């Protein structure tokens, strides 16, 4: 790989995104395979760059480098690990404008949202992990035992295309802080942010082999990482289908897994809520990234008597959204990631109409391009696919409920349990309803996302938690040292601590 240029905020001047190498062991290493994958801008079909289509041999090379670096990194003083991670994060922060523009190009997220969420929130999550680690006790006395939180080992982090850098940092930073080493496999659809992260890592204080990045698809690299006995923990975010494959592959070695999978989250509006506020916030959340988010509130559940008023509000709100070029500051929704994604969302919409749901708003998508208009259905019942299946597009189902018990029943009626919201004129009432919903995280009356709180799902939405102290602990094994008891008191070596 040629020399690393200084950070720039102008993506149009960047020409270093045609790769034949992976970032392994602190250097750029030629891929074992000869094939490459083009990275396509979903807004206009232009080619942004190319990455190697890695192989199982590349995956094993990355894991071997991580394993070799593990003893030194895991035994380094925690202050040294924090300093090295922070040196990398400072470079990322300085490069935030470029990264925002880059991710907007490769994902299709409107530029404003890309800078604020794809990059801004990603950095907030990373900083929160550093703060949580400062407060984390890695050893504690329990009777005559010392309970230790020790690094899980080599982590294989497999991330999706939709919020790629956010999910990468959400895995990498806590893993590195507690002393794990990491092999990241970004999605082959949106890998360019990871190229940039590797170049910034090269300029940081991170030791060689602590962070490795292997490019490729799920079949060639993802499956090899999940099945390798060298990977002590596989942290995967993606679809339920792929998550089951990862879990099955890891089971052969009894490797630990984190799975953050799909969702069919509900926003529950109670009869004393501010209907306009609840509907506006719910639709806005559901349309982020053109609905391509696992925590999307794709079911808006309102009191039956308020359904006509909710329909009017939804129609007015959605009519104001602008679909178009992500680079345009006035754009609210960009394209879907691929033509296959557009076809999948189209099929879901057609099936909804066939099953009797009424399209409240949303034109037919144009034949050309990957843009899809924001679409809302009403008269949706629990048995319809619109109410049960994750669509991963700008599609919301408006559903009526007949009181708090019915709203909770509807919320719990899917196989998913990742996110959600409850709206009421009383935080106490909303909280009481939220406690009955089987989902990993809920917003109460618009409470903001807290990166210090654990994130993850119930049921088919996954296994394990990321973010906050729980996220740090999830990258640890727990060890207990049993000391002898003399005179009724525990005896512990003063050399330990």
Mapped onto helix, strand or coil, the DSSP state of residue 451 is coil
- pTM for the model stands at 0.93
**Look-up of token digits 């596989």:** 234
State the Cα–Cα distance between residues 259 and 156, nearest whole angstrom. Answer: 12
In terms of Cβ atoms closer than 10 Å to its own Cβ (0-12, 13-18, 19+), residue 21 is middle
CA angle 456–223–100, rounded 5-degree value? 55
pLDDT recorded at residue 489: 53
Contacts of 487 (CB under 8 A, 6+ apart): none
Collect the ranges in the chain with pLDDT lower than 70.
1-16, 487-497
Mode of pairing for the β-strands spanning 416-417 and 420-423: unpaired
pLDDT recorded at residue 18: 87
410, two tokens: 């509807």
158-188 per-position pLDDT tens digit: 999 999 999 999 999 999 999 999 999 999 9
Q: Which residues are catalytic?
A: 260, 294
pLDDT recorded at residue 13: 47
State the Cα–Cα distance between residues 183 and 190, nearest whole angstrom. Answer: 17
380-436 per-position pLDDT tens digit: 999 999 999 999 999 999 999 999 999 999 999 999 999 999 999 999 999 999 999
State the Cα–Cα distance between residues 254 and 234, nearest whole angstrom. Answer: 11
Residue 47: closest CA among 187, 180, 167, 192: 192
Q: What is the CA radius of gyration of the chain?
A: 23
The H-assigned helical ranges of 4-77 are: 56-75
Per-residue DSSP letter, 381? -
Q: Which domains does the chain have, with CATH numbers?
A: 11-261+461-478 (3.40.605.10), 266-444 (3.40.309.10)
State the Cα–Cα distance between residues 370 and 342, nearest whole angstrom. Answer: 6
β-sheet bridge partners, residue 459: 416
State the Cα–Cα distance between residues 392 and 298, nearest whole angstrom. Answer: 9
pLDDT recorded at residue 486: 73
Phi, psi torsion values for 432, nearest 5 degrees: -65, -40
pLDDT recorded at residue 14: 58
Q: For the chain, what percentages of helix, strand and coil (3-state, to nearest 5) are there?
A: 40, 20, 40
Mapped onto helix, strand or coil, the DSSP state of residue 348 is helix
- Answer for the pair 183, 62: CB distance below 8 angstroms, yes or no: yes
Mapped onto helix, strand or coil, the DSSP state of residue 321 is coil
Q: Give the Cβ contact number of residue 57 at 10 Å.
A: 14
**Look-up of token digits 């698809």:** 217
Q: Give the Cβ contact number of residue 30 at 10 Å.
A: 13
State the Cα–Cα distance between residues 238 and 163, nearest whole angstrom. Answer: 11
């Amino acid at each position: 790989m040629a020399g690393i240029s200084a950070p720039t905020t102008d993506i149009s001047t960047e020409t270093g995104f045609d790769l034949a190498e992976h970032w392994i062991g602190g250097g750029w290493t030629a891929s074992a395979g000869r094939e490459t994958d083009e990275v396509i801008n979903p807004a206009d079909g232009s080619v942004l760059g190319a990455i190697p289509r890695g192989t199982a041999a590349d995956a094993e090379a990355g894991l071997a480098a991580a394993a070799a670096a593990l003893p030194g990194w895991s035994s380094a003083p925690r202050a040294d690990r924090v300093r090295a991670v922070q040196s990398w994060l400072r470079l990322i922060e300085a490069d935030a404008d470029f990264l925002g523009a880059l991710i907007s190009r490769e994902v299709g997220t409107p530029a404003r949202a890309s800078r604020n969420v794809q990059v801004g929130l990603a950095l907030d999550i990373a900083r929160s992990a550093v703060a949580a680690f400062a407060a984390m006790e890695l050893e504690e006395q329990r009777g005559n035992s010392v309970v230790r939180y020790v690094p899980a080992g080599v982590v294989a982090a497999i991330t999706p295309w939709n919020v790629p850098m956010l999910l990468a940092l959400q895995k990498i930073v806590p893993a590195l802080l507690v002393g794990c080493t990491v092999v990241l496999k970004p999605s082959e659809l949106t890998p360019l942010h990871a190229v940039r992260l590797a170049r910034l890592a090269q300029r940081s204080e991170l030791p060689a082999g602590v962070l490795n990045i292997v490019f490729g698809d799920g079949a060639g690299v993802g499956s090899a990482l999940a099945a390798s006995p060298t990977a002590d923990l596989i942290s995967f975010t993606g679809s339920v289908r792929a998550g089951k494959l990862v879990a099955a592959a890891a089971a052969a070695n009894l490797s630990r897994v984190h799975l953050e999978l799909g969702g069919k989250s509900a926003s529950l509006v109670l009869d004393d809520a501010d209907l306009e506020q609840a509907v506006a916030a719910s639709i806005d959340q559901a349309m982020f990234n053109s609905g391509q988010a696992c925590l999307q509130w794709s079911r808006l559940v309102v009191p039956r008597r308020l359904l006509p008023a909710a329909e009017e509000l939804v129609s007015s709100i959605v009519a104001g959204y602008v679909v178009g070029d992500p680079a345009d500051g006035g754009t609210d929704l960009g394209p879907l990631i691929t033509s296959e994604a557009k076809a999948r969302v189209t099929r879901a919409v057609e099936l909804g109409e066939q099953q009797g749901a009424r399209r409240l708003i949303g034109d037919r998508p144009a034949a050309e391009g990957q843009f899809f208009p924001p679409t809302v259905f009403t008269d949706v019942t629990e048995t319809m696919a619109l109410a049960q299946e994750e669509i991963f597009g700008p599609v919301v189902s408006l559903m009526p409920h007949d009181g708090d018990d019915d709203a909770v029943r509807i919320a719990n009626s899917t196989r998913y349990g990742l996110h959600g919201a409850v709206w009421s004129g009383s935080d106490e009432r909303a909280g009481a309803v939220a406690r009955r919903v089987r989902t990993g995280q809920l917003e109460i009356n618009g409470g903001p996302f807290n990166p210090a709180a654990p994130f993850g799902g119930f049921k088919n939405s996954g296994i394990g938690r990321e973010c906050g102290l729980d996220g740090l602990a999830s990258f640890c094994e727990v060890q207990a040292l049993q000391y002898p008891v003399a005179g009724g008191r525990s005896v512990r070596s003063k050399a330990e601590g």
